[in-house]
Amino acid sequence: MTTSVHIGRATWQLFIIGLAAFGSAFSAAAAEVSFKGKINVIIGTTPGGGTDGTTRLVGRFLAKYLPGRPQMIYRNMPAGGGLKATNYLANEAKRDGTVWMGGDGDYIDAETLRRDIAKFDPRKFHFIGGITRGGTVMPLHKNKLANLLDKSKKQVNLGSQDGTGSLVGMAMWAAEARGWNLRFVIGYPGTGAMALATRRGELDGFGTSDRRILDTLFRTGNFKGVAQVGDFRDGKVVPRSSYPDIPTIDSLVAGRLSGIAAQSYRAWSDANQVDKWYALPPRTPAAVVKAYRAAYAKAVKDPEFIKFGKFQFSEDFGSQNGEEVARLIATSSFPSAEINAYEIKLRTKYGLPTKPLTAAELTELAKKLIKYTAVTSSLDQIKRGGRILHFKAGAESHKVKVSGRRTTITIGGKKVKRKNLKVGMKCKITYAENGGEARRVDC
């Protein structure tokens, strides 16, 4: 028999075929789900950027391969660093296949889930799949390679924004497993500032996933990649396709950790293998989840999908299936009390903060590390809602990035958001380098 059920804005149909056999009534069934109409896609960021862009790309190809060819309607919900959207998926979204979400690994990591405003358990989500764009790589000055492996020499200085992130974890675990001789210098406002400090010799190394920055350093011949997070694909961590000869941290620590150290490392590693994820709400019917995962499996093999992904995001653009994402999140989202205690002990050992630093604390650290330039000029161009500013510094054209969290923006002495900046405004821009992040924009 055929049953057609109208739910929300979409229609899904279950075709159930009963098979009668001698001595039994119904003994087998097959089901197919078909979507027609509109499907709402929740995105945890503002338009633009990796989470928004990958979600829209995934949505375009899910619409192509979901039965019924539905229309995707995108809704950006950026408040709370992605938590508003994730709370909505868990607690308010319809559970009939008419709503799914695109998110970032930061929304569902252990640190985020400790916050009072996180009202969800990501292990209950039904993950459709994930996207990877190439994990963090650690470039190091070649003249410091000997120092890294010899504790009788001066420690290697590695830069960090706030004492967290993939580079810090990767270097810390390598120090534990391999005895790396290093220390962390905390307070840099962004990757651009750390890259500049490394080129100047103020730092010996740092970490980034940005291939343009990495290749610029490697082309000088003065740097070597000593470790990378890698990408989790087909059940294992593999090097980025762009850097196949740089060892993964998994390979560096293999067989060198045991007990609670091994458990803590696995929780950290799994958390760092989640980049972008796509999920249906808890308690979505199994047939709907199956249909989405089947469509996703077809989408990520589509040559056009791969082409656009590599062009738009990274040559290392790749995918994870829903089961892989679910496993990574299940093992990393809620580490045990023993793992948490071990992590605190380890961070203390390496002089790292055991609690998140405040914005004021980070600002004070940056003042000690960064040499800033202040230029008064009119804003010639504003891109991506105020995220990029173009202006003249003397006879040269400069640009800066504007962080919604770290950059202070004022107009007439009053603090405002970056979206309030307008072309033609005369502003005093305080920044470390052309192309780097602005510390202040006072108009």
| HSE value, Cβ hemisphere, 13 Å, CA-based, for 120 | 23
pTM of the predicted structure, to 2 decimals: 0.75
Average pLDDT of the segment spanning 123-130: 97
Query: What DSSP string describes 378-433?
Result: EEEEEEGGGTEEEEEETTEEEEEE--TTT-EEEETTEE--GGG--TT-EEEEEESS
Assess if residue 37 is contained within a domain.
yes
* Helix axes of 211-219 and 191-200: crossing angle, nearest 10 degrees: 10
User: Which amino acid, one-letter code, is at 36?
Assistant: K
Band (pLDDT 50/70/90 cuts) for residue 404 is confident
Q: How confident is residue 260, by pLDDT bands cut at 50, 70 and 90?
A: very high
Phi-psi domain of 231 (left: phi exceeds 0; alpha: psi -120 through 50; beta: other): beta
124 plus 159 within the same structural domain = no
DSSP characters over 209-233: --HHHHHHHHHTTSEEEEEE--EEE
**Position 427 in a domain:** yes
Of 1, 7, 2, 3, residue with least CA distance to 285: 7
**Does 64 share its domain with 9?**
yes
Does 247 lie in the same domain as 206?
Answer: yes
Domain that holds residue 401: 372-442
Query: Is residue 411 one of the residues assigned to a domain?
Result: yes
Q: Which amino acid is at 13?
A: Q
**Residues 211, 64 share a domain:** no
Q: Torsion over CA of 107, 367, 220 and 215, rounded to 10 degrees? A: 10
**Is 11 a residue whose pLDDT tops 70?**
no
In the predicted model, is pLDDT for residue 15 greater than 80? no
Q: Pick from 318, 349, 380: which residue ends a domain?
A: 349
Report whether pLDDT(20) > 50: no
Does residue 152 surpass a pLDDT of 80? yes
233 pLDDT band, cuts 50/70/90, is confident
pLDDT of residue 137: 96
Query: Which residue bears the tokens 């830069």?
Result: 159
pLDDT 10s digits, 300-313: 999 999 999 999 88
- Quote the tokens at residue 102: 């695109």
Residue 354 inside a domain? The answer is no
Number of domains in the chain: 3
Q: Assess whether 40 and 157 both reside in one domain.
A: no
What pLDDT does residue 335 have? 92
Q: Are residues 345 and 391 in the same domain?
A: no
Confidence of residue 8 (pLDDT cuts 50, 70, 90): very low
Residue 314's SS3 state is coil
CATH number for position 46:
3.40.190.150
Share of the chain above pLDDT 90, in %: 69
pLDDT surpassing 70 at residue 25: no
* Alpha carbons 356 and 105: distance in angstroms, whole number: 17
Domain for residue 360, yes or no?
Answer: no
d(CA 242, CA 250): 18
Indicate whether 196 and 246 sit together in one domain.
yes
What is the Cα–Cα distance from 327 to 346, expressed in whole angstroms?
A: 25
Q: Would strands 38-43 and 71-76 be described as parallel, antiparallel, or unpaired? A: parallel
101: Cβ–Cβ under 8 A, 6 or more apart, which residues? 41, 42, 43, 44, 85, 86, 88, 89, 93, 278, 279
Q: How many CA atoms lie within 13 A of 303 on its CB side?
A: 0
- Which CATH number goes with the domain that contains 397? 2.40.50
Write the pLDDT tens digit of every residue in 192-217.
888 989 998 999 999 998 888 999 99
State yes or no: pLDDT of 27 exceeds 50: no
Give pLDDT tens digits for 50-82.
899 999 999 999 999 999 999 999 999 988 888
Shared domain for 345 and 221, answered yes or no, is yes
| 259 and 383 inside one domain | no
Residues 305, 263 within the same domain: no
Alpha helices (runs of H) in 4-92, residue ranges in sequence order? 50-65, 83-91
User: Strand, coil or helix: what is 69?
Assistant: coil
The angle formed by the CA atoms of residues 316, 184 and 206, to the nearest 5 degrees, is 25
106 shares a domain with 11:
yes
The count of C-alpha atoms lying within 13 angstroms of the C-alpha of 385, restricted to the half-sphere facing its C-beta, is 9
Are 82 and 121 in a shared domain?
Answer: yes
User: What is the signed CA dihedral for 177, 179, 181, 187, rounded to 10 degrees?
Assistant: 20
User: In this structure, what is the dihedral angle of CA atoms 406, 407, 410, 413, given to the nearest 10 degrees?
Assistant: 70
pLDDT of residue 291: 95
How is residue 112 annotated by DSSP?
H
In a domain, 10, yes or no: yes
In a domain, 363, yes or no: no
Does residue 365 lie in a domain region?
Answer: no
